[in-house]
């Protein structure tokens, strides 16, 4: 029996998708629920499973094609899958003990080409273009041959033009939308993180033993921001037409950099989450994001966003709003700096904070007071326990 494999119903606000990668080809045996193809939308990657055991009879669309909901992707001829195919699909063959990696050869066997002291990328390109090391002048350290050296000999173009992914296009559109729609303004402050660092150091082992996860820094910021959002609800609001919508829950998006681009999974109702809950949720989102496994519901419903440029060494920046939200908190790298405390000069782990906000509905007073509240909660974490 032939079964049509169709594009699943796409999430709300998603009109189409691009066929990203086929994992099976016509004639291949497939098992029920085995992933056949990845569809890339402007938010997530969707997997399309096989509807039954059988053989992939034909493919109706190719990688790169744009498809819509319920469009036919392929035909599966239902039937029995040979036992050896089942075994091979379910359990990978036992891997033999890996042989030690051989050093890069400095000369090729008879009939081959010499790659000399070239890097991996350069060696690959030399083999692909049948270029011998004697034809290339190495510009690297000690005469090492680099990829640009090989490109120059092969007369290859020094630039490459590739289309943006749907996710990157969506990110670009949202950034432009934020710049052209909101009246963005950024306020700065700095925070002394000694108290937080001391807590993490003191309870590091106990926390791991009880919760099975490291006590992170981001969870403190999420809790501090949650308390500040409760005190300044306008920061948690958004604009819809001529209305201001106040959100009763604090749903905080955490910007996560993945190989596909920036995604912002959302922690729902953070007021009800403990530090361990937050750390585990962030870890799971990071793993799912890098694997392209985030679900649409993971990315929806955010009312406020935190982004941590400090992970990559940023000292200070002005984050862009994640529309339709009205504010975003930017964390930055921690630097030990001399500061004056009670008349004494001491060295403390300091971080600059940045709050970008929509000046259409948020006044500077509220934005500054919000930042001060976050700062005070982090410098005296007991405030988070006492709710003051």
Domain boundary among 132, 154, 176: 154
DSSP 8-state secondary structure symbol assigned to residue 331: E
Would you say residue 253 lies in a domain? yes
Give the whole-angstrom CA distance, residue 103 versus residue 119: 11
- The separation between CA 67 and the C-alpha centre of its own chain, rounded to angstroms, equals 24
Residues 298 and 356 in one domain: yes
Residues 189 and 76 in one domain: no
Would you say residue 118 lies in a domain? no
Would you please indicate which residues are annotated as catalytic (active-site) residues?
359, 363
Would you say residue 294 lies in a domain? yes
Would you say residue 107 lies in a domain? no
Give the whole-angstrom CA distance, residue 117 versus residue 249: 60
3-class DSSP state of 29: strand
Residues 135 and 237 in one domain: no
Residues 136 and 180 in one domain: no
CATH number of residue 132's parent domain: 4.10.320.10
- Cβ atoms within 10 A of the Cβ of 70, count? 11
**Number of domains the chain is built from:** 3
How many Cα atoms are found within 13 Å in the side-chain-facing hemisphere of 101? 3
Would you say residue 160 lies in a domain? no
Residues 320 and 178 in one domain: yes
Would you say residue 89 lies in a domain? no
Domain boundary among 34, 65, 83: 83
How many Cα atoms are found within 13 Å in the side-chain-facing hemisphere of 113? 16
CATH number of residue 340's parent domain: 3.30.559.10
Residues 227 and 358 in one domain: yes
Would you say residue 108 lies in a domain? no
3-class DSSP state of 35: strand
Task: Return the structure tokens found at 40.
Answer: 């890339």
Residue labelled with tokens 């049509």 = 4
Domain boundary among 56, 83, 110: 83
pTM of the model: 0.69
Residue 104, pLDDT score: 42
- Alpha helices, DSSP H, located in the chain: 83-90, 120-128, 147-154, 166-181, 194-202, 204-211, 218-231, 275-290, 364-379, 382-386
C-alpha closest to that of 351 among 228, 189, 229, 196: 189
- Cβ atoms within 10 A of the Cβ of 146, count? 17
Task: Return the structure tokens found at 365.
Answer: 């007073």
Sign of CA dihedral 150, 154, 158, 161: negative
- Cβ atoms within 10 A of the Cβ of 18, count? 19
3-class DSSP state of 194: helix
Residues 257 and 360 in one domain: yes
Averages of pLDDT over each 10 residues, the chain, 388 residues: 87 76 90 88 82 91 87 89 60 44 42 59 80 82 80 74 80 88 96 96 94 94 97 96 95 87 91 95 90 86 95 93 95 95 95 97 97 97 81
Residues 208 and 289 in one domain: yes
Contact, 236 vs 303, CB < 8 A? Answer: yes
CATH number of residue 62's parent domain: 2.40.50.100
Would you say residue 233 lies in a domain? yes
Residues 9 and 147 in one domain: no
Give the end-to-end CA distance of the chain in Å, rounded to a whole number: 66
Residues 144 and 171 in one domain: no
Per the structure, the complete domain to which residue 129 belongs is given by 123-154
Instruction: Number of helices (H) and strands (E) in the chain: give both, helices first.
Output: 10, 19
Residues 269 and 368 in one domain: yes
Residues 135 and 19 in one domain: no
Contact, 332 vs 317, CB < 8 A? Answer: yes
DSSP 8-state secondary structure symbol assigned to residue 320: P
DSSP 236-292: G-EEETTEEEPPSS--EEE-EEETTEEE--EE--GGG--HHHHHHHHHHHHHHHHTT
Give the whole-angstrom CA distance, residue 30 versus residue 53: 6
Residue 73, pLDDT score: 92
């Amino acid at each position: 029996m032939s079964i049509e494999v169709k594009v699943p119903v796409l999430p709300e606000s998603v009109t189409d998708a691009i066929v990203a990668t086929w994992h099976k080809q016509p004639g291949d045996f497939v098992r029920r629920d085995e992933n056949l193809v990845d569809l890339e939308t402007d938010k997530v990657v969707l997997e399309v499973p096989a509807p039954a055991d059988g053989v992939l009879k034909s493919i109706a669309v190719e990688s790169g094609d744009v498809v819509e909901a319920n469009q036919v992707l392929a035909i599966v001829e239902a039937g029995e899958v040979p036992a050896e195919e089942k075994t091979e699909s379910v359990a990978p063959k036992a891997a033999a003990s890996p042989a030690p990696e051989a050093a890069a050869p400095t000369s090729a066997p008879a009939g081959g080409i010499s790659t000399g002291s070239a890097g991996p990328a350069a060696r690959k390109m030399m083999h692909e273009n049948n270029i011998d090391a004697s034809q290339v002048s190495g510009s690297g350290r000690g005469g090492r041959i680099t990829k640009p050296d090989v490109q120059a000999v092969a007369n290859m173009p020094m630039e490459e033009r590739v289309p943006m992914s749907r996710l990157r296009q969506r990110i670009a559109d949202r950034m432009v939308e934020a710049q052209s729609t909101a009246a963005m303004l950024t306020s700065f402050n700095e925070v002394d993180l000694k108290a937080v660092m001391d807590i993490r150091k003191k309870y590091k082992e106990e926390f791991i033993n009880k919760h099975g996860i490291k006590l992170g820094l981001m969870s403190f910021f999420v809790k501090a921001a949650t308390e500040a959002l409760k005190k300044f609800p306008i920061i948690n609001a958004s604009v819809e037409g001529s209305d201001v919508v106040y959100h009763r829950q604090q749903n905080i998006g955490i910007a996560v950099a993945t190989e596909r681009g920036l995604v912002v999974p959302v922690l729902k109702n953070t007021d009800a989450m403990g530090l361990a809950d937050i750390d585990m949720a962030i870890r799971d989102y990071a793993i799912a994001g890098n694997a392209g496994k985030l679900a649409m519901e993971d990315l929806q419903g955010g009312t406020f966003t935190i982004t941590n440029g400090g992970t990559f060494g940023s000292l200070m920046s002005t984050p862009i709003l994640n529309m339709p939200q009205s504010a975003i908190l930017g964390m930055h790298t921690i630097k030990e700096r001399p500061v004056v405390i009670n008349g004494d000069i001491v060295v403390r782990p300091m971080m600059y904070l940045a709050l970008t906000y929509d000046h259409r509905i948020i006044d500077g007073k509220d934005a500054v007071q919000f930042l001060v509240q976050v700062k005070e909660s982090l410098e005296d974490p007991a405030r988070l326990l006492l709710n003051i």
